[in-house]
Amino acid sequence: GLIDGFQPDCTATGFSRWQALEEWLEPTGVRSVPRNFGNGTFGTRAELVFGAASQTFLMLEDERFRPAVFADDDVSFSDGHYSTPSGHGLGLTVDTHRFQREYSANEIVIR
């Protein structure tokens, strides 16, 4: 076909909208390729979890970079495959010690 993959931003679209888009695209043969540029570890994890639930997911943009405020977990990449998180939701937990040490000076509190 003319288009092989549809690639809107993964965090702006959200899971429910992605599922609706996949249903809409299914008869056309177009695959979902969520865009993750600039979304860091959170976006990579959102793509990973969505891809595990998707029937037509094509690829993952792995963009883990600073700010690295999340604690290490059980998600791994080995032999061309990712594992999925065992925790709730995206399986991410803020490493409060790392946040305090490296990022709290930039924190803005809105009351």
Token representation of residue 37: 């540029």
Residues 6 or more apart in contact with residue 107 via CB below 8 angstroms:
none
Q: Give the model's pLDDT for residue 95.
A: 93
Give residue-wise pLDDT tens across range 65-88.
Answer: 666 788 888 888 889 888 888 888
Which residue in 19, 86, 91, 26 sits closest to 34, CA to CA?
Answer: 19
Strands (E), the chain: 5-6, 31-32, 77-78, 81-82
Q: Give the model's pLDDT for residue 110.
A: 92
Q: Give the model's pLDDT for residue 97.
A: 94
How would you classify the pairing of strands 77-78 and 81-82?
A: antiparallel
Structural domains present in the chain: 5-106 (3.20.20.120)
Give residue-wise pLDDT tens across range 14-58.
Answer: 888 888 988 888 898 888 888 888 788 888 888 888 888 888 888
